[in-house]
Amino acid sequence: MCQRPARIILNALLVHCVLLSAILTTPVLAQPSTPQTLPAFLGKPAPEFTLPDTEGRTHQLSDYRGKVVVLNFWATWCPPCREEMPAMERLHQRVGDEAIAVVAINVGEDEDTIFRFTGDYPVTFPLLMDREGRIVEEYPVIGLPTTYIIDPAGIIRHRAVGTREWDAPELVEELRALLRE
Amino acid sequence: MRYHEVMKQSTIIFLAQLAMSPGGLSAAALTTGIDEQAQLPYWEIRDEGMSLRLVQRIPDQSRAFFLARGFSSEQVERIAGRCVFQTVFRNISHEAQPSPLHYRQQDWTVQHRDRGASILTREDWARLWEREDAAPAARIAFQWALLPAEQTYEAGDYNWGMTMIDLPPGSRFKLEVTWEQFGETRSFLIEDLQCASDQPVSS
């Protein structure tokens, strides 16, 4: 069956315009929500460190062997770092009596600066100080905040770049799952 | 001419257009507006698995931020004399189809009045601060305040940081952003990006 050429061409163009529009717009319209996930990472031993906290006590990573460690790198001037501090504190409150430790390492700042920060963002987990920025380079961290999840054997299992809702049920369950292994 | 012949020909043209599109097929779209927090103009690229928002940062904001980190007034002017954007780069690929996202700023291009300009990376600045013997705490803060020059984000990851371009405040330029995701290289051209001056430039 034949059709008039002009009409055929017009129909063909119309079909492809619709197809192109669908391809170009569908992903933009279907904007996904930010997933609360902990991407798997490396599986290599976490670098050991010895760092002071803001109370003058010294902490070593090996002190936490046998626990899951949520190790956060942050700075007071970093807006997303500040944003996630309350969620880390809620996580600490929620799992404090389990073998899950929340530890935050401040990058490059002094006790006074951190003390002023905790006036606005009170936390009860240890705040360690990497004044010269050496430990942050060893892990390695590329942007702040970054959080490593270290299993009870001292192996890095996950890395989260940017903030997370740390007390979200799915994340708490992932941490508990590491304890059950 | 039969219908199926026309369809065959136009399909070939369509596929050829897809193949010729630079950086692979990208469904990216650009939005602009006023950032709710900064109250300054922003440009945001959003693709199926990534979003990149560039928010103007006025020179006085840079002066205040870096003076508070321990830089001298002279050093701070070196930063305030450049084009600075606050940047948020996210991997928004859905959990059902997560895909790592990788970028290198050295792959991005800046075009200003038919000439290229550089994106100033942490490494570029580190050499300057070394020569100027900037305070160690200031250098550390500066390093971490910039968007990483190269990064890989898994689904849900993002960084926040400044992007600095070697152009004076108030400049208008083209920025082509390139990234890798879903097994291909993608790119998007922002035609008219505007650096803030001390008086904010409207979008």
Tens-place pLDDT, residues A6-27: 665 555 554 444 444 433 333 3
Q: What is the pLDDT of residues A127-141, one digit of tens each?
A: 999 999 999 999 989
Strand positions, DSSP E, B16-168: 29-34, 41-46, 50-56, 83-91, 101-104, 109-112, 115-117, 119-120, 150-153, 158-165
Tell me, what's the pLDDT at A40?
80
Chosen from B140, B143, B151, B153 to mutate, greatest number of chain A CBs within 10 A: B140
How far apart CA A176 and CA A135 sit, in angstroms, is 26
Tell me, what's the pLDDT at B161?
96
Residue A144: CB atoms within 10 A of its CB come to: 26
Partner-chain contact A108 B141, CB within 8 Å: yes
ipTM summary value: 0.83
Quote the distance between the C-alpha of residue A112 and its chain's center: 26
Instruction: Place A81 in a pLDDT band, splitting at 50, 70 and 90.
Output: very high
Spell out the domain ranges in chain B: 27-194
How far apart CA A141 and CA A48 sit, in angstroms, is 15
Distance from CA of B179 to the nearest CA of A (A): 17
Mean pLDDT of A58-79: 97
The fold of B27-194 is Immunoglobulin-like (2.60.40)
Residue B140: partners with Cβ closer than 8 Å, 6 or more residues away:
A107, A108, A132, A133
* Residues in B touching A8 (Cβ below 8 Å): 1-3, 6
Tell me, what's the pLDDT at A23?
38
Mean pLDDT of A34-61: 88
Mean pLDDT of A63-85: 97
Q: Is the CB of residue A27 less than 8 Å away from at least one CB of chain B?
A: yes
Partner-chain contact B29 A133, CB within 8 Å: no
